[in-house]
Amino acid sequence: MSLPLPSVLLLLTACGGAHTADRRAVDVSPTVAVQAPVSTDPGASASVVPWPLRHRGFAGDGPRVDPQVAWKVALPGPVTAPLTTDRTSIFAVGGGTVTNISRKGQVLWQVQPDAVGPVTPSGNDLYVGVRDGALIGLSPSDGGDKLAFPGTARVRGSAVPVEGGLAWATVDGKLHHTLGDTRTIGPTVARDLASDGDFVFLSSLDGMLYGVPGPGRSEAAWRSRLPGPARTQPVVLGSVVIVGHDAGTDTQPGLFAASRTSGRVAWQRQLASPPASDLAVADLLPADDTAGMVVLIPRHDGVIEAFDPKTETTRWETALGPHPLVGSPVVAGRSAWVGDAGGSVHRVDLDDGGVAWSRDLGAAVTGDPLLIDGLLVVGLADGTVVALEDGT
């Protein structure tokens, strides 16, 4: 079956902290030596990365000052997957149940397919991975089952668009496609997949990064050895795909970049602490003609770091607290929002890393934050979905 590329995907959840006006920015050391240079020019990134970067911002900015709770919705269990949106509704997964929430915080419907991954809006349907390995299609109007594509084991993460359909991974190391193609990749997939429309990119717990062409394409699949176990979803930026990794036997945690078409090593970067969650990308060009794309790294030590892949230097890094950061930061304008495992969400200035505010939500953030209609929407470990808005 051929499916249209998703019009949108937005993954979400994040939040918490104590109020502060503190603005901290610290310079750090340069990157490690580069191997086999590959162009990292981000000029083409705007047309390449909307899906793999999981852009989650609609209708402008998010809350900038004194954030207040706009609404809360209780799910049947802890939020276990990033929230997503089709620009009309917000879809949350908790306790195996899929919940459709309006932008005003009203529950429109709930279904229990034993979901384990986030909802993927695609064309006129919604898709979600379930415990038995299948990718099932749901009706946006009432959540009713429309179709199912079989898998081989528990689904890992979300489905991504590639070559006229959707691809998804299962924990037994297999990559599936809605056109019927199944490939054995290797050991357990570490995080969500990424796609540039032609290739699917995935990383594994045994320290491998894979590039797999979509069904029917003539390019060869490739794999690259990481210095340590993968810790993040791959991110496509221009000509390279970037992944964060943990420390290896004789290596430090860091970032690893490879050519997205061949897997050849582009550059590497050591980090003081491993990434705690997925990377994000922000474009600083509008206000600074010496700037460009930066990779935002939410670290395990509670620090968010902005790394410039073009100059291979760190722009700034900011300590947000003692807890690991959770979820890929969401970016809009000159700000980024990120949550932590202590239950706080923070707004950070992208120019210098200064903290504009932090807000304690009372339970650990369990996924990426999402912006829609000026709201910051967050999923929590206690099963609550919270929307924050600007205070009056």
Q: Buried b / exposed e across 221-235, counting CB within 10 Å, b at 16+?
A: ebbbebbbbbbbbbb
pLDDT band at 42 (very low <50, low <70, confident <90, very high): very low
Whole-number pLDDT of residue 6: 33
Q: How far apart are CA 88 and CA 83, in angstroms?
A: 13
* 33 residue type, one letter: A
**Residue 282 pLDDT grade (very low, low, confident, very high; cuts 50, 70, 90):** confident
| Rounded Cα gap, residues 169 and 134, in angstroms | 10
Please tell me the distance from the alpha carbon of residue 62 to that of residue 375, in angstroms, as a whole number. Answer: 5
Q: What is the mean pLDDT of residues 321-337?
A: 91
CB atoms within 10 A of CB 144: 11
Decide: helix, strand or coil at residue 353: coil
**Calpha distance 171→133 (Å, rounded):** 9
Q: What is the pLDDT of residues 192-240, one digit of tens each?
A: 899 998 999 999 888 999 999 999 888 899 999 999 999 999 999 889 9
Mean of all residue pLDDT scores within the chain:
82
CA of 300: how far to CAs of 77, 202, 231, 243, 273, in Å? 25, 21, 10, 15, 6
Kindly report which listed range (32-41, 163-172, 353-362) carries the lowest average pLDDT score.
Answer: 32-41
Nearest to 72 by CA among 99, 49, 97, 32: 99
Q: What is the mean pLDDT of residues 124-152?
A: 93
Q: How far is CA 302 from the centre of its chain?
A: 18
Give all domains of the chain, ordered by start, each with its CATH number.
Answer: 42-389 (2.130.10.10)
- The mean pLDDT value for 110-136 works out to 92
Report the C-alpha gap between 21 and 133 in whole angstroms: 46
Give, in order, the Cα–Cα distances in Å from 55 to each of 41, 84, 206: 20, 10, 28
SS3 (DSSP) at 99: strand
pLDDT in tens, 85-101: 888 899 999 999 999 99
Q: What is the DSSP letter of 204?
A: B
373: left (phi over 0), alpha (psi -120 to 50) or beta: left
Name residues whose C-beta falls within 8 Å of residue 205's C-beta, 6 or more positions apart in sequence: 187, 188, 189, 190, 229, 230
| pLDDT of the residue at 51 | 39
Residue of 143, 94, 81, 27 lying closest to 326 (CA atoms): 81
Count the residues in the chain.
392
pLDDT at position 159, please?
92
DSSP state of 231: -
pLDDT (0 to 100) of residue 163 = 85
More confident residue, 131 or 289: 131
Q: List, as one string, the DSSP characters of 263-281.
A: --EEEEEE-SS-BSS--EE
Torsion angle of C-alpha atoms 149, 154, 155, 156, degrees rounded to 10: -160
**Is 80 exceeded by the pLDDT of residue 47?**
no
Centre a 10 Å sphere on the Cβ of residue 46 and count the other Cβ atoms it contains. 11
pLDDT score recorded for residue 238: 87
